[in-house]
Amino acid sequence: MTKLVEKAASLLREGAVIKVIGYEEGSNKTRPFFCEKAEDVERLIYNGRCTNNLAVYLTKPELLGSGKVAVVATVPTMRSIAQLVKENQLKEEKFLLLTVTKEDEVVEFSGFKEMNDYLADIQLVIDTKEQELINKLDGMNREQRWAFWQQELSSCFKCYACRAACPLCYCSRCVVEVNAPQWIEPWASPLGNMEWHINRAMHLAGRCTGCGACSDACPLGIPIHLLTHKMMEDIDRDFGATFNNSGNVLSTYKVEDKEDFIR
Amino acid sequence: MDNSNIYLPHLMEIEKITDEAPGVRTFRLKFKNEEEAEAFDFKAGQFGEYSAFGEGESTFCIASSPTRKGYIECTFRQAGRVTSGLSKLEEGATMGFRGPFGNTFPLDEWKGKSLLFVAGGIALPPMRCVIWNALDTRENFKDITIVYGAKSVNDLVYKGELEEWEKRADVNLITTVDPGGETPDWKGQVGFVPSVLEKVAPNSDNTIAIVCGPPIMIKFTFPVLEKLGFKDENVYTTLENRMKCGVGKCGRCNVGKLYVCKDGPVFTKAQLKDIPPEY
Amino acid sequence: MEKLYINKNGLDQWFKQMIKGGSHVYAPVQGRDKVDFKRVTELSEVASDFVQTTQSIKKAVFPKAESLFSYQKSGKNVEVQDFDALSVSDKVLWKIRPCDAAGFASLTGIFNWDYKDKPYNTRLEKTTLVSFSCSKSDSYCFCTSVNGGPGSTVGSDIQITMLPGEGALVEVLTSKGKALVELSADSFEQLSKEIDKELYLAKVPVHFALEQVKEKLSVAFDSPVWQQQSERCLGCGACAFVCPTCACFDIQEDAKGSAGRRIRCWDSCGFSLFTLHTSGHNPRPTQSTRWRQRILHKFSYMPERIQKMGCTGCGRCSRACPVDMNILEHLTSIAE
């Protein structure tokens, strides 16, 4: 029995939480698991294959129920939680945050601040395959990049899995679901697809934490996360915010900001 | 029928616009194409998909009676994109119509019986079709009672026709407004439709009840009808579900194995018991 | 039904003739990480070693977005132009799987029960389905549990079974198939010996008894299983969109000033807005009610209504789901 399983069992038995949101083994991959009974805790696992971002469930009240909920968070999940906290979307007393270290030790955070401190020292890691794609994009000129994205996004069929998997897409009525006026075509079309993805990248500007859930979720394998990733690089350069610490950079004004049109 | 595009609307001209109540309008429509006008027929209870070109389609019942040829009418409340678009149209403008879709009130089966109509607010339109149909063939039915209510006097629709029905000796019309909705010169009842219905207590003997209204009104009217002795197979209502195609293909109005656009919108209370409560 | 033999050169010849004849040929093509249908002009572009494509090829007859008609407004008048049947090209869907071909049978049922759907039928008429029987399957496949199989010819115009080391067995099943074969009649030979197709088919184990599932479903409406199974579901449309039988659609308006088109596009019963009334009332307000609708519609309502299955066991939904909602797993647990 792993330390995680032990911890979950004791939390549930003591009634400290009404459920533990973590991961279990699925069909050839891991998947989110909502553990409500102590006898199910053996199903909880935690390893490098656990890649779903569980923060997406934390803004759904009908899933959480009433009572405290424990979350077994990976680093990308924690980054998303940190951003949700900065956007005032999560109540601290509702959640019990846990993570598991490389040595399989369970860390329980006393609150959001402790989680943030833990995160502060961890840099965003980009794996080689990703870096290759990013380098490829960087090597393109404007026309080539536009052609690249037109090509990639032409296969998009507007399933909105990217939006559904993103923890920061929590709007109860997405912009593409507003029909009066119809800002963005909801159906799949060359123009509509570009409109949607560009719009989403803009709405995530300054907020995206680089978890990659969007492109992991895309059934067609479109590298959507690169759009938001490159957006974040721009934000970093122009506004000084990073993946680790963006806060509400586009909705905050500082006296030191270099734009002077507002003075 | 086989080679025609079921999604292509007939072009209709708006002949007359009547403002019924705040935000509620009635359009009288005629087919722009003579042949289509000739070929068109429908039965009470059926609905159509009405297009505001540039905005989309919206689902309304055909509110006029099939006994009156040469035009159809629809009544709608301005609520979203399409109805707002329709509200901007003037007399003489062109809009679209697809239909008639859905099933019908089985008026033939009701011959010789008495009819009790119970409606609330904007739900009088689907009933108006069958009321006029019944009145135009008055000899087929025994007693006709109409209990109709709205939030306030202003919200009552078809005010002109309510007056006509009031004057008729062969119709017993009871109108009511919600408490607080009455005006100083209001002569009708004051009270919610279910409670007024209970007060009036129409006879359930050999009588068919037709009920249309917002879900909350139906919820409280059904028990009253049961108390008055109406059997479930003799209580009719219309279901509203979000619809798009109107022809049983897009899947939106699917409830259990039924499609509200094909097997409805007219259902009996007995039939409703057998379908999942997803409407 | 006619059985023919074709060798490797013959296949190449036939394919070239198809392209020359002007048909648009769609076939599985290896992409960056996934195999998916693309328009091809050479046999060499077709992917060889894969179990299943990511998406179905239903878009050949039911595009992800299509124009139902177009209109122009001028003053108080409106002119409409009907759907143009002539704009639809002849298509050959090459190397689809038996589960895909069976999916077309379900779609045809939906689009033709009661009213006939002209855009769908126009496209289907001009489409020839060439399926290849399956020599491999994976753990997501369950065609044999839903009245299908790796060598099922239901819905196909032609079925090809590759014979390792040799050419292929060609089963010509319909007149459309025959017409396609005649494009290059001398590429084909008569069979010199009986070929037992079964020898070349994948073994797909039966995981549940369909009748048992249907029986359990007919009384399962209020079961807690829906809530339990759907907790992690994100409510996206991935499963519905990759599915060969899902045909729920939306009707939208593509309006630009005084002209526009009425568009039909894919929709999913899993979206929260699918059944939302303008008043704000939603008959299926939670993800669990929507998950229940998906399963019941496919396995209960649709078979009862139009005697067609709403699922062909291709497993695409389970492979595509970001949170591993595995339909086979759920059905097996319902059957127990």
* Average pLDDT of span A8-25: 95
Across the beta sheet with A30-35, what order do the strands follow? A30-35, A19-25, A69-72, A95-100, A106-108
The reply to whether residue C249 touches residue B92, judged by beta carbons under 8 angstroms, is no
Domain boundaries, chain A: 3-120, 128-251
Interface of B with C in 173-202 (CB under 8 A): none
- Give the pLDDT confidence of B125-177 residue by residue, as tens digits: 989 999 999 999 999 999 999 999 999 999 999 999 999 999 999 999 999 99
Q: Does domain B114-238 sit in CATH 3.40.50.80?
A: yes
Do residue C242 and residue A219 have CB atoms under 8 angstroms apart? yes
Least CB–CB distance from B254: residue in C119, C260, C301: C301
All residues at 6 or more sequence positions from B43 whose CB lies less than 8 Å from its CB, including other chains: B66, B100, B104, B105, B107
Residue A246 has pLDDT above 70, yes or no: no
Residue A109, CB half-sphere, CA atoms under 13 Å: how many? 26
Structure tokens at B101: 């879709």
Higher-scoring residue by pLDDT: B112, A246:
B112
Q: How confident is the model at residue A245 (pLDDT cuts 50, 70, 90)?
A: low
| CB-based contact C250 A159, cutoff 8 Å | no
C-alpha dihedral over A56, A62, A68, A74, to 10 degrees? -10
Tell me the chain B residues in contact with residue A182 when contact means C-beta distances shorter than 8 Å: 81
Q: Which pLDDT does position A126 carry in this prediction?
A: 83
Radius of gyration of chain B (CA): 18
Task: Determine the residue among A23, A27, A49 to mutate to test chain C binding: the one whose Cβ has the most chain C Cβ atoms within 10 Å.
Answer: A27
* Tokens standing for residue B65: 């009676």
Which class does domain B10-101 fall in? mainly beta
Q: Are A179 and B84 a contacting pair at CB < 8 A? A: no
A241 band by pLDDT with thresholds 50, 70 and 90:
low
Interchain contact A29–C (C-beta under 8 A): yes
Task: Check A187 against C250: CB less than 8 A apart.
Answer: yes
| Alpha helices for C113-209 (secondary structure H) | 118-125, 175-182
H helices of chain B, in order, are 34-39, 81-87, 124-136, 159-167, 193-200, 215-227, 269-273
Of C151, C238, C135, give the one whose Cα is nearest residue C143.
Answer: C151
- Report pLDDT digits (tens) over C223-282: 999 999 999 999 999 999 999 999 999 999 999 999 999 999 999 999 999 999 988 889
> Does this chain's domain B10-101 share its CATH topology with B114-238?
no
Range of the domain at C207: 2-335
Give the domain ranges of chain B. Answer: 10-101, 114-238
**Angstroms from B8 CA to nearest CA on chain C:** 7
Chain A residues with CB-CB distance to B52 below 8 A: none
User: Residues of chain B whose pLDDT is less than 50?
Assistant: 1
Residue A1 has pLDDT above 90, yes or no: no
Neighbours of chain B (3+ CB pairs under 8 A): A, C
Q: What is the pLDDT averaged over residues C90-101?
A: 96
Within the 73-112 window of chain B, which residues sit less than 8 Å (CB to CB) from chain A?
80-81, 84
Measure B81 CA to nearest chain A CA, in Å.
Answer: 6
Whole-structure pTM value: 0.94
Total tally of structural domains belonging to chain C? 1
pLDDT digits (tens, 9 = 90+) for A190-204: 989 999 999 999 999
Q: Show which of residues 47-106 on chain A sit within 8 Å of chain C, judged by CB atoms.
A: 52, 56-57, 62-63
For residue C285, the chain A residue with the least C-alpha distance is A62
Min Cα separation B153/chain A (Å): 31
C255–B215 C-beta distance less than 8 A: no
> For the segment B30-50, what is each residue's pLDDT rounded down to a tens digit?
999 999 999 999 999 999 999
Chain B closest-CA separation from residue A99 CA (Å): 41
Indicate the average pLDDT of chain A.
91
Q: How far separated are the first and last CA of chain B, in Å rounded?
A: 31
Separation in Å, CA of B216 to nearest CA in chain C: 12
CA distance B209 to B227: 13
CB contact under 8 A, B276 and C80: no
The letter for the amino acid at C141 is C
